[in-house]
Amino acid sequence: MEIHKFAMVVLYKANRPLPTRHSLRQSLLRLRAIGACGDEGFLCSSGGRPGGGGRGAFGRTGVPESSVEGRVPVAGPKCLNLLGPFQCGEALNNKMLGWRQIVDGKVGPYLWKTYKEVYEEVLHIGSALRKCGAEPGARVGIYGINCPQWVIAMEACCAHSLICVPLYDTLGPGAVSFIVDHAEIDFAFVQDKKVKRGKENPADIVPPKPQDIGTIMYTSGTSGHPKGVVLTHENAILTMRGVDLFMEQFEDKVFTFGLRHSMITITFAILLVLNVLMTVDDVYLSFLPLAHILDRMIEEYFFHNGASVGYYHGDIEALREDLMELKPTLFAGVMKTLEELNPRRRKIFDMLFRHKLYWMNKGYKHRQASPLADLLAFRKVTGKNNVFSVVKAKLGGRVRLIISGGAALSTELEEFLRVTSCAFVIQGLTETCGLSTISFPDEMCMLGAVGVPSVYTELRLEEVPDMGYSPFGDPPRGEICVRGKPIFSGYYKNPELTKEAFKDGWFHTGDIGELLPSGAMKIIDRKKNIFKLSQGEYIAVEYLEKIYSFTPIVEDIWVYGDSFKSKLVAVVVPNERNTKKWAESNGYSGSFAELSKLPYLEDYILLELKSTAEKHKEDIDNLYQSMALPQK
């Protein structure tokens, strides 16, 4: 059965000629060619002046020494055109893209297309695009849920140096129309009527160059309109190559734990998949939006390694059915998903958990900290091989890598994952191609931190006088700025925003970081969004929203206040699943909308918010103290 649901429809604007790659990039800032990290991984600055560097876990560079010697990798692909791996014959017969058919309302088993079959379809789709008039540098929109056709369309764009522009409406009403107009999209994949034209008129592929734009990925903007992040092929390739170099240097740190215990936790919509752990037998379930950097980079990395990607059948509420059917080896979700996987601790287990945590804090590695706790807590108590087996069972039974994207993990959850499952954290943005810092699983001193600079990336702290943050203070604090080859080149058709984001070649993230004694970076705040209450108390509402979002009953929260009032107000969106659990345990029934109107639920939410605030009281007090006592 032909799986194509769309191909292309020409969306020519009236009397507007197709653009060239040169004209598309004319208004964009060029990425500075700095290679890997220089001699300073963490830099501090005041008023634009470089300051003293901090010593990271790797030393001053913050990267493996081997990657510093070779600033630009000489091996491996130079762009995201995946036709190269197909042509070499190594993965032609491996399963690449999987999907489930729905017949008479029933969801069937996964069907697969091999790399060879996908390769042939990519050639046909690419030829059809060229026959429709697409020339290298044209923008091509892809609109749809995650599915094999999405990836085939994307690969067809790569094969002919076309710019892929994901279209999605989760950014709000009218986002798709705005992106189509703003990106000046010339073609969009929406139907399959013209696929036959490509089969009958084959066209030679036009492989992209590393500096060519691979995608324009739109993210939410502060002005009310999405902003287009311009990412080149080089940005993505060096991000993945940096992961390879990092893991090659420190593979002993990971492999001493055993592969079946390995687990990765990632925050802020980012990626870390271990190339040395990858095999053609690995499988990933794709359900997070392909229009976002996290899922996109995970899939790119799987294809790079000849592994398989299966797509959920479209019903997010029935995701567990897809998990049981596909049995993935890698799972990517959000913080609240991981909280659901966290088994309830029993009294004996909790005691042994704390025992192992104590020795890990003393510097012992994951498998050396407490073999007795591993034996008793992770075998006897759960009745499984280890706690992670319980998690794996809920995810199909074969999961060995877990990725958390979106909001930051709570300290409690990260601690639990580090002790039981050998977790570590990295951080990144769409603008950094998903990766800017990385931490290590054995370093408990990095708990709550985002790590040291990733390979090919430099970081520095810049003074924020209005908020009382100084990189020369104790501890050093300031706005996190990054630069390097993985960093995006600018916002599409928005030179003002690009100029504001880049100063002296450094991308200003807007995150406020604190350099820990270990050399790791910790994100403590966001820039600008602070104010005083009427009694003179500084308030950082985004930080409070982050803290309160750790409350399980809270799905989303918005905190508001002004300088003429003494108290804050908040709008809370309850978590539907946890609300229903609360209602069931307290004898209430009804729909989610009906339960949300219960005054008792409001009282419960207030109590939970108060409890969360008390747990993080020290963090909040320290933050406000640093803002109330600015350094001169």
Lookup: tokens for 167: 């279209």
The residue assigned the tokens 């200003």 is: 508
DSSP secondary structure string for all residues of 31-64:
PP---S--S-SEEEEETTEE-PPBPBBTBSSSS-
Classify residue 11 as exposed, middle or buried by CB count within 10 Å of its CB (0-12, 13-18, 19+): middle
**What is the spatial distance between Cα 265 and Cα 259, in angstroms, rounded to a whole number?**
15
Q: Mean pLDDT, to the nearest integer, of 160-167?
A: 93
pLDDT of residue 244: 72
Domains 9-26+77-237 and 530-628 belong to one CATH topology? no
Asked if 18 and 201 count as a contact pair (C-beta separation under 8 A), the reply is: no
Going from the C-alpha of 474 to that of each of 311, 527, 580, 631, the distances in angstroms are 49, 19, 46, 10
**What is the spatial distance between Cα 16 and Cα 184, in angstroms, rounded to a whole number?**
10
pLDDT above 90: residue 490: yes
pLDDT of residue 40: 36
pLDDT above 90: residue 383: no
Going from the C-alpha of 54 to that of each of 44, 461, 519, the distances in angstroms are 8, 10, 6
Lookup: tokens for 40: 């300073």
**What is the spatial distance between Cα 292 and Cα 428, in angstroms, rounded to a whole number?**
13
pLDDT of residue 233: 93
**DSSP label at residue 426:** E
pLDDT above 50: residue 303: yes
Going from the C-alpha of 605 to that of each of 284, 367, 573, 594, 602, the distances in angstroms are 36, 39, 10, 16, 5
Helices (H), 305-397: 319-326, 335-341, 347-361, 371-375, 387-394
pLDDT in tens, 495-533: 999 999 999 999 999 889 999 988 889 988 888 666 667
The domain spans of the chain are 9-26+77-237, 247-446, 530-628
pLDDT in tens, 258-286: 222 233 333 333 333 343 457 789 999 99
Q: In what order do the strands lie in the sheet with 437-438?
A: 426-427, 437-438, 452-453
More confident residue, 22 or 90: 90
pLDDT in tens, 176-221: 888 999 999 988 886 566 666 666 677 888 888 999 999 999 987 5
pLDDT of residue 579: 94
pLDDT in tens, 111-130: 999 999 998 999 989 998 99
Does 3.40.50.980 match the CATH number of domain 247-446? yes
pLDDT above 70: residue 167: yes
More confident residue, 205 or 373: 205
**What is the spatial distance between Cα 306 and Cα 463, in angstroms, rounded to a whole number?**
45
The percentage of residues in the chain with a pLDDT greater than 70, rounded to a whole number, is 64
Q: At the top level of CATH, which class does the domain 9-26+77-237 belong to? A: alpha beta
More confident residue, 511 or 89: 511
More confident residue, 574 or 442: 574
pLDDT above 70: residue 87: no
**What is the spatial distance between Cα 513 and Cα 536, in angstroms, rounded to a whole number?**
24
pLDDT above 50: residue 329: yes
Q: What is the 3-state secondary structure (H, E, C) of 283-340?
A: EEEECCCCCCHHHHHHHHHHHHCCCEEEECCCCHHHHHHHHHHHCCCEEEECHHHHHH
Please give the distance of CA 94 from its chain centroid, rounded to a whole number: 27
Q: Mean pLDDT, to the nearest integer, of 221-232?
A: 78
pLDDT above 50: residue 45: no
Q: Mean pLDDT, to the nearest integer, of 143-158?
A: 91
pLDDT above 50: residue 44: no
pLDDT in tens, 238-252: 988 887 777 666 544
More confident residue, 364 or 22: 364
| Type and span of the H or E element at 517 | none
Lookup: tokens for 13: 């604007």
pLDDT above 80: residue 483: yes
**What is the spatial distance between Cα 365 and Cα 454, in angstroms, rounded to a whole number?**
22
Residue type, 170: T
pLDDT of residue 81: 59
More confident residue, 75 or 128: 128
Asked if 330 and 391 count as a contact pair (C-beta separation under 8 A), the reply is: no
More confident residue, 151 or 417: 151
Does the model's pTM come out above 0.75? no
Q: Mean pLDDT, to the nearest integer, of 417-421?
A: 68
The residue assigned the tokens 């892929």 is: 164
pLDDT above 90: residue 66: no
Q: At the top level of CATH, which class does the domain 530-628 belong to? A: alpha beta
pLDDT in tens, 605-619: 999 998 988 887 766
Q: In what order do the strands lie in the sheet with 95-103?
A: 106-114, 95-103, 308-311, 283-286, 330-333, 401-404
- Enumerate the β-bridge partners of residue 332: 403
